[in-house]
Structures are given as structure tokens and as C-alpha cells.
Amino acid sequence: MELSEHIKTANVEDAVLRQPLHPAARGTLCVTGHHLLFSDREESSPQHFLLLLRNIDAIEKRMSGSSGTITIKCKDLCVLQLDIPGMEQCLNIARSIETLSCLENVSEMYPFFYRPSDQSLKDQWGLSSTEKHYSQMTDLHDRWRVSSVNRDYSVCPTYPQAVIVPKDINDEMLVKAAKFRHGGRFPVLCYYHRKNGMVIMRSSQPLTGANRKRCREDELLLQAVIDGSDKGYIIDTRSSQQAQQARMTGGGFESKSCYSCWKRLHRQVERGKALQESLIKLVEACGNDSHNMDRWLSKLENSKWLSHVQTALSTAGLLAECVERDGHSVLVHCSEGTDSTLLISTVAQLIMDPCCRTLEGFLALLEREWVQAGHPFQKRCAHSAYSHARLQQESPVFLLLLDCVWQLLHQFPLALGFSEALLLRLATEAYASSYGTFLCNSDKERSVAILSMKTLCLFQALLRPKERRCYANPLYERTELAIWPSVHPQSLQLWRGYFLRWTQQARHLEEAQEEIRNMVILWEKMFEYVCFNFFMLS
């Protein structure tokens, strides 16, 4: 196999591994096509440590005399050190890691080789689909339909094959509307609010350009959305200035004169490079224990990460408010419609819809709104906070989403059916995974790579009974109410579980979580026994 060409030294004896919260261990290091494997020499209880190469964000080599030290910085923010005897060996290992950790070719990646004994490629792939989503919402059927205009991905390469659109708009009109939208992402339905029949639509920016082009079909499409209602809202996640500027490069916004029934609101939600830089600054601040209090607080502020969390949550709150309280439909978009658009619509759905707050519901939501809706995971998660490589299209939008969800969980510990552990797992898997779920950038790429036949599905794996135990929230009690998050700075917290994951502090918090879980299990057992006894006695 080709990957083995990159491995000059496959085995090193007498290497030393240092990882956070563990004593240093001496043992054997192996490099394979996709992993680093370390086995220590403890004869009584040998320990193995397995690291997916894809998880490595950056390495640093330091040579001293005849041996070398490689510092490995992972995408899950863990920092490891390997002491390797022999300069040549050390350099070989470092070179292998550098090449194998950023393979470009999808089909060489580990998910195509991952074959655990308890899961099979024949297992169902995915939880949700447009058709299934549509069939679950019968109230929708008189006014909305499933269109397969995109069945060969020619109308919009980043949309799935089927999308939900107003019944009155035929496929021809959709094709024309798509030409008027960035990347062909014409407005489609992503959420239907059962309580009042209002909807959330999402799209990309309209291509009005400098000379204010119009598109009759696009206008009709949006008109059909608010059919019968007096108005709708457009939430543009760019500032109005940014939206104006976009016209110079052929983009633009829905003008008042052409979309008279739609009221535009601008809320700037950061994405792209600025967000990536924010993450880098925050991780840098968290990684340095020697800062004093003033320096830490000023670095935390300077990273702006919490400001981004605040803006994202409050924009999602605004969207939910338009739908739930004002009773109006909303169209949300940014430029491409593949990043902050998805972020805002996902958080808003969690705020309003109890069905999205169960473990299954949340995973299905992520699958619909992120995987199928074409968030370019492979581009956005190519590197994390440590990489020295020049930034290309990396941006931690998905991580920002998970942080927002964590804030919801923190403010409403009983309202979500899943635990912090799930969010941590997803944050890790998005960057490096044994599963195929987060591979590729769109539905189209995924179908070309035949992921559903050749890799395993993470979401299915997370729902197996054994996994479910650690990812379900033991305190969960379904509430039908909307959960309005507070966006006051004092209510928002640094997500310590993630950003300080490899410190002692996180361990104590995990302990507390475990204690809660045990208490709930004890309580349920007790309850069960008493009921059983009661049954016996009566």
C-alpha cells in the first residue's frame, strides 16, 4: 500500500511518552498508515496508547545530542511529548507524522479502513433525510413539497438531492432562483414551527450585484413562503456594511423595493478567518499556565471567542423570537450560506423545538443542518488551533455551534437529552474520526466517494446502547417550552470542559458528572424495586 512508503522507521524501542495527567511512560512506539501506537513496558499491566494521525495538528522537533523530542499538538487540544533515541529515527518519525497527518485524498483516510468487529458496513447509514423529515411533518403537506430538482446536484452542488420548497413554486422556477443565489443555494425550508405554522428558510446571498439585478422567481419563491401572512423577516448574518460591500463582488442583499413584505435585520456573526484566529488566540491563552490574572483576563477578552458565542446565541435568540413570539417566518443567510447561516438556524431550532433536544433529535438535526446542508467540514476542520500552516479555509464554525449548545446545556441542565460528553466527542470527531460522517464537504462529494457503503456512520454508532449510556443526560426531563438563553456576559462561561480539557480541573468536573449519573441510576433502581415489590404485594 502506498501509505507505507511514507514510513521509514516503523518501530522505535525505548521511547518515552509524556501526556497530560499521566506519569511519563517508557515503551515501544509504532507508526502505521493511520496511527501512532505506543505500548509501555509495564509487564504487569501493559498500557497501550493509540493516536489517530489525522488528529495531529502540528509537531515540533527538538534535537539534543543523539536523541530527539517530538512535541505533538493534537486537534483535540491535547499536547504530547515523545522522546525518541536516535536522531535519524526521530527525524523519520517526524516526517511520517507530518505527511500522514494531512492526507488529501479522501479514500486514503482511516474511515475507509476502520472495521470494528461490533459494527458492520451493512448497518444503516445516517438517521435522517429530507424525505423522512418531510414525512414527519404532516401539517406541512398542503403548502410545501419535496423537490428533487437537485437530483444530480446540477442546480446546487452543495445541497442534498431533495429539498423542501413551497408547493406553488415549480422546479423550473427553482432552477432560475438558484442561478440568482450564491452557489445555487436557493431558499429552502429547514424548520417548521408546529405551534403557529411559521418556518425558517435558509439560503445564500442573492446575486444582485452592483446594478441591482432582480430575479422574478426568487421574489415569487419568498412571496410563496409568507403566503397569507403580512410579512417575514430576513436575518442577514453580515453587518449592513458588509452586505453593501458584497454587491461590488456580485453578491448583495434583498432590497426593500423588490421584497416589500420582508423586513431585513443585520446581525454580524463572525466566521471564516476571523473566527479561526479567535480560536487560536483562546487556545494559546488557555495553554499558558504562567499568566497572571490580569494577563489571562485580557487575553480571554482579546481572543473575542466569548463575544462570538454571545453574538451567535443572541442572533439565534432573535431568530427564534421572530418565529415563536412574533409569529413570522424567517429567511436566514450570510454570503455562502454554509457557515453562520447553519449555526444560527441550528441554535434557534434547539431553543424552540423540544424534538431537537433529545439525543436522537439533536444528532438528526446536526445531520440535516450541517452534514446534508453542505457545511464544508473537510475544509473547515482541516486544521485546528495549533497548526502553523497558512490558513486556507479553516474555520471553527462547528465548534462555535457546540460551544453555543454547551451554553444552553449550562443554563438549562435539565432541558437537553444529551450530555457534555457528547459535545466533546463531536468536537473531537469533527476534526479527526474513524467514522465517515464528517468526511468531505457536501452531499455530492460524499456520494461520489460512496461513503455510505465504505465507511461507518458516527451518528448510528453514538446511539448504540453502550454509548448512549455516557451520552445521555441523566437529568433530562423533556419540556415543551422554548428555552431562551441569557446572553448577558455573566451568564456565558468559558467552556472549560473543552478548552481546559487536559487539565486536572476538568477531571473533578467529570467526577461530579459521574456522581450525578450514579445517583440517578440508584434512584431509578430503587424506584423499580419498590414498584416491583408493590406489585408482588398486591
Partner 1 sequence: MEHLRTPKVENVHLLDRSSGQRRASVGTLYLSATHSIFVEDNPETRKETWVLHSMVNSVEMPSNSPAGSQLILRCKDFRVLQILIPQERDCLDIHASLVRLSRPEKYSELYCLSFNPNVNKEEREESWSFIDLMSDYRRMGVPNNLWVMTAANSEYRVCDTYPSELFVPKSAAPTIITGSSRFRSRGRFPVLSYFHQDTLAAVCRCSQPLSGFSGRCQEDEMMLQAVMRSNPGSDFIYVVDTRPKLNAMANRAAGKGYENEDHYTNIKLQFIGIENIHVMRSSQQKIIDVGEMRSPSMTDFLWGLENSGWLKHIKAILDAGVFIARAVADEGISVLVHCSDGWDRTTQACSVASLLLDPYYRTIRGLMVLIEKDWISFGHKFSHRYAHLDGDPKEVSPVMDQFLECVWQLSEQFPCAFEFNERFLLTIHTHVYSCQYGTFLGNSQRERKELRLPERTHSVWSQLWKDRVDFRNPLFKADLSQSQRVLRPNTTPYCFKMWKGLYSHIDKSMPPCQSPADFLSAMREESQQLEEELTNHQERIAALTGRPIVWEKTEVLKRRTTHLQQRHLGPDPPTSYIQPITGHGQAVALKQANQMALNKEPNLYLPTECHSKLKDHDPDDCSTCSDRESGVADLRSRSSSGGDYAKDPDWE
**For residues 234-293, which are near partner 1 according to CB under 8 A?**
267, 285-286, 289, 291-293
Query: According to the binding rule CB under 8 A, does residue 486 interact with partner 1?
Result: yes
Question: How far apart, in whole angstroms, are the C-alpha atoms of residue 31 and residue 92?
Answer: 10
Question: How far apart, in whole angstroms, are the C-alpha atoms of residue 450 and residue 503?
Answer: 40
Give whichever of 141 and 273 is closer to partner 1, judged by the CB atom.
Answer: 273
Residue 480 Cβ vs partner 1, minimum distance, rounded to whole Å: 8
Residue 292 Cβ vs partner 1, minimum distance, rounded to whole Å: 7
Give whichever of 209 and 287 is closer to partner 1, judged by the CB atom.
Answer: 287
Residue 259 Cβ vs partner 1, minimum distance, rounded to whole Å: 21
Secondary structure string (H, E, C) spanning 119-168: CCCCCCCCCCCHHHHHHHCHHHCCCEEEECCCCCCCCCCCCCCCEEEECC
Residue 196 Cβ vs partner 1, minimum distance, rounded to whole Å: 11
Question: How far apart, in whole angstroms, are the C-alpha atoms of residue 118 and residue 44?
Answer: 28
In this structure, what C-alpha cell is assigned to residue 327?
Answer: 409569529
Query: According to the binding rule CB under 8 A, does residue 5 interact with partner 1?
Result: no
Question: How far apart, in whole angstroms, are the C-alpha atoms of residue 185 and residue 163?
Answer: 11
At 425, give phi and psi (nearest 5°): -65, -45
Give whichever of 317 and 337 is closer to partner 1, judged by the CB atom.
Answer: 317
Nearest to residue 257, comparing CAs of 209, 207, 219, 229?
A: 219
Which listed range, 46-54, 200-208, 380-388, 408-416, lies at the site for partner 1 (CB under 8 A)? 408-416
Query: According to the binding rule CB under 8 A, does residue 147 interact with partner 1?
Result: no
Residue 27: strand, helix, or coil: strand
Query: According to the binding rule CB under 8 A, does residue 538 interact with partner 1?
Result: no
Give whichever of 114 and 296 is closer to partner 1, judged by the CB atom.
Answer: 296
Nearest to residue 344, comparing CAs of 325, 370, 316?
A: 316
**For residues 291-350, which are near partner 1 according to CB under 8 A?**
291-298, 300-301, 304, 306-307, 310-311, 314-315, 317-318, 320-321, 325-326
**For residues 428-447, which are near partner 1 according to CB under 8 A?**
none
Which listed range, 256-264, 368-376, 388-396, 516-524, lies at the site for partner 1 (CB under 8 A)? 516-524
CB atoms within 10 A of CB 241: 10
**For residues 178-237, which are near partner 1 according to CB under 8 A?**
none
Give whichever of 1 and 536 is closer to partner 1, judged by the CB atom.
Answer: 536
Nearest to residue 12, comparing CAs of 102, 91, 101?
A: 91
How many residues line the site for partner 1 (CB under 8 A)? 77
Residue 294 Cβ vs partner 1, minimum distance, rounded to whole Å: 6
Residues paired with 191 in a beta bridge: 200
Give whichever of 87 and 520 is closer to partner 1, judged by the CB atom.
Answer: 520
Which listed range, 223-231, 335-343, 356-364, 527-535, lies at the site for partner 1 (CB under 8 A)? 527-535
Q: Which of residues 137, 258, 414, 472 is near partner 1 by CB under 8 A?
A: 414
Question: How far apart, in whole angstroms, are the C-alpha atoms of residue 188 and residue 180?
Answer: 14
Question: How far apart, in whole angstroms, are the C-alpha atoms of residue 386 and residue 529?
Answer: 52
Residue found by looking up cell 443585520 in the block: 266
Query: According to the binding rule CB under 8 A, does residue 484 interact with partner 1?
Result: yes
Question: How far apart, in whole angstroms, are the C-alpha atoms of residue 71 and residue 350?
Answer: 39
Q: Which of residues 126, 492, 498, 501 is near partner 1 by CB under 8 A?
A: 492
Residue 178 Cβ vs partner 1, minimum distance, rounded to whole Å: 32
Give whichever of 139 and 515 is closer to partner 1, judged by the CB atom.
Answer: 515
Give the amino acid at 113: F
Query: According to the binding rule CB under 8 A, does residue 508 interact with partner 1?
Result: yes
Q: Which of residues 154, 241, 249, 505 is near partner 1 by CB under 8 A?
A: 505
According to DSSP, residue 76 is labeled T
Nearest to residue 279, comparing CAs of 306, 310, 314?
A: 306
Give whichever of 205 and 310 is closer to partner 1, judged by the CB atom.
Answer: 310
In this structure, the dihedral spanned by the alpha carbons of residues 230, 235, 239 and 240, taken in order and rounded to 10 degrees, is: -30
Which listed range, 2-10, 57-65, 162-170, 474-482, lies at the site for partner 1 (CB under 8 A)? 474-482
Question: How far apart, in whole angstroms, are the C-alpha atoms of residue 151 and residue 157?
Answer: 10
Active site residues: 334
